[in-house]
Amino acid sequence: MMLHPGLLLIAGGIAMTFVRGSARSALAVLLPALALFLVWQVGDGIFGRVAFLDYQLEFVRGDRLARVFATIFTLMALVGGVFALKQESRIEVPAAFVYAGSAVGAVFAGDLVTLFLFWELMAVGSTLVIWAAGASARAASMRYLMVHLFGGVVLMAGITGHVASGGSLTFEAMQADSLAHCLILVGFLINAGAPPFSAWLPDAYPEASWSGMVFLSAFTTKTAVYVLLRGFPGTEILIPIGLYMVFYGIVYAILENDMRRILAYSIINQVGFMVTGIGIGTEMALNGSAAHAFAHIIYKALLLMSAGAVLYRTGKRKCTDLGGLFQSMPLTTICGTIGALAISAFPLTSGFTTKSMISQSAANEHMMFIWLLLAAASAGVFLHAGIKFPWFVFFQKDSGMRPKDPPASMGWGMIAFSALCIGLGCYPDPLYAILPYPVDYQPYTGAHVVSQLQLLLFSGLAFFLLLNSLQRTLTITLDLDWFYRVLGPGLALGLAEGLANALAASGRGAAGLFSSIRTAIYRHYGPSGVLARTWLSGHMVLWVAILLLMYLVLFYLPD
């Protein structure tokens, strides 16, 4: 192995902040392209052993699972880099490359310490991507960082406990059977957007710039899917957690008005499918989760590119302000619709050939209830992302705006990923060939195509029949982040105010006491005080005479 693809992206990203103009554009394309090439130069096995304290770190471990994720991460950085060529922020794309590079580093990490280092670096890189969007994103980027630092602390506590109880530092499959392992699982799940920590994603990501959110959608949650795939395959608790995420995403996206927040909720929905697959845990389900993550990164980035193009041209994010854009943005409309069809798993798109492996594995395991919920969720995906997003952004009422399609670099980004969505849908074999386990699955059977078309098209019918109930309003929907955005600060403020009042009251008491002592002293010792007055010498003589007299009287008193 020559060069670590993740470190290349990290170092290259940092170097990019120092160059401008065409050199910078060249780096934005060449760095991820070279990293993608290097990913495929990593053979199977362990490379880069480093001694650290008493431990042996395995800096790079190459295997099939790591390679699938590293491939899509570097590919995402490449196409995202092209899409973001017009981005004027000097921080955002370099930060995104550091972020992508650390995600690649995390999936190649052979031990838990290396994993943790890259895990934290990802948090820093992604926070900078949000932060780079400007003043409006600062508060959200700090809330985002807090959640991820908390997740990092939980993960570190778990790793420490695992090692202290004699566990191996090598990152391999484990059971959620001890406190330490449960902490590791929780640390992973926080990054996956699992409950009760789902709200950080729709809170922070949509505040990023038009290109920033494209990068953000790809790495954090999918690295979490990777570590769950490697660390906790077949852990049953992941099934209910995944199903919760699936329906949480749908319900909140249905209620949402901001087009990019709709897509943010839909990320949690999609990751929910993957987490459910990991919980099912058969080879087919794990393959399905990995393949779905691969396809999902592409179509979700595509959807966010089309939303980013709309934001770039109109500066608007709310469905209530948008509509009718198909008339002047044909390319964006077509690409956004392809992404929408792919996320809905329409036949001939990548969702159809990947996501269906997860439901099929539920059917093979005779998990009827789970299978039914996944089918209902597939219908719900079409409802909230497949139709709702393109309908409210590009069609519905005419907003009167006639923005042009975005500049060529953004167009090429969208075209590349649209082609991949359809390519992997029509010919999934190259993807199947790199999955962790051998694939024995045929997506294109008559029954599968017909049943999927029925499911989706009748969901479409429901959408248009219920359109009045789906009309958007100028609202947001409260989530569990209310507890740390309103209740927590409210309590803290209340407590602070109460304490301050108590302090002030006791201060007033102390001040009162002090000032009465002061007045008393002043009264006696002040310039006109009784003890500081100038006395006449006559008074003095009189008092001395009185004292002498008293003395004489005392002396002659009989014993």
Give the one residue of 124, 163, 186, 251 binding other proteins; rule: CB under 8 A. 251
Stretch in the footprint of other proteins (CB under 8 A) among 78-86, 121-129, 376-384, 507-515? 376-384
375 binds other proteins (CB under 8 A): yes
Answer yes or no whether residue 486 interacts with other proteins by CB under 8 A: yes
Nearest-angstrom CA–CA distance, 310 and 468: 24
Residues 295, 433: Cα–Cα separation, whole Å: 14
Number of Cβ within a 10 Å radius of residue 86: 14
Q: Which stretch binds other proteins (CB under 8 A): 322-330, 404-412, 515-523, 527-535?
A: 322-330
Cα first-last separation, the chain: 116
Q: Do residues 343 and 386 lie in contact, with contact meaning Cβ atoms separated by under 8 Å?
A: yes
Can you spell out the DSSP letters for 121-169? HHHHHHHHHHHTT-GGGHHHHHHHHHHHHHHHHHHHHHHHHHHHTT--S
Q: Which is nearer to other proteins, 47 or 484 (CB)?
A: 484
Residue 462 sits in the site that holds other proteins (CB under 8 A)? yes
Report d(CA 424, CA 87) in Å as an integer. Answer: 29
Candidate residues 254, 348, 419, 422; the one interacting with other proteins per rule CB under 8 A: 254
Distance between CA 385 and CA 342 in Å, rounded? 10
379 binds other proteins (CB under 8 A): yes
Q: Which stretch binds other proteins (CB under 8 A): 51-59, 96-104, 117-125, 477-485?
A: 477-485
Pick 214 or 264: Cβ nearer other proteins:
264
Nearer to other proteins, 78 or 381 (CB): 381
Q: Give Dmax over CA atoms of the chain in angstroms.
A: 136
The site string for other proteins over 392-431 (x = CB under 8 A, - otherwise) reads ------x---------------------------------
CB of residue 88 vs other proteins: minimum separation in angstroms?
26
One of 153, 179, 237, 368 touching other proteins (CB under 8 A):
368
Query: Please, what is the minimum distance in Å from the beta carbon of residue 400 to other proteins?
Result: 13
Q: On the CB side of 26, how many CA atoms lie within 13 Å of its CA?
A: 5
Q: How many residues bind other proteins (CB under 8 A)?
A: 55
Does position 173 interact with other proteins (CB under 8 A)? The reply is: no
Candidate segments 69-77, 217-225, 291-299, 455-463, binder of other proteins by CB under 8 A: 455-463
The answer, yes or no, to whether the previous bond of 196 is cis (omega within 30 of 0) is yes
> Nearer to other proteins by C-beta: 239 or 325?
325
Answer yes or no whether residue 458 interacts with other proteins by CB under 8 A: yes
Q: With the CA atoms of 239, 243, 244 and 245 taken in that order, what torsion angle do they form, in degrees rounded to the nearest 10?
A: 110
Q: Does 456 bind other proteins (CB under 8 A)?
A: yes
If DSSP codes are grouped into helix, strand and coil, which group holds residue 62?
strand
DSSP 44: S
- Give the 3-state secondary structure of residue 171: coil
Parallel/antiparallel/unpaired status of strands 45-52 and 55-62: antiparallel
- 470 part of the interface to other proteins, by CB under 8 A: yes
H-helix or E-strand containing 58?
A: strand 55-62
Q: Is 205 in the site for other proteins (CB under 8 A)?
A: no
Q: Does 255 bind other proteins (CB under 8 A)?
A: yes
Read off the amino acid at residue 19.
V
* Contact positions vs other proteins (CB under 8 A): 247, 250-251, 254-255, 257-258, 318, 324, 326-327, 363-364, 366, 368, 371-372, 375-376, 378-380, 383, 398, 445-447, 449-463, 466, 469-470, 473-479, 485-486, 489
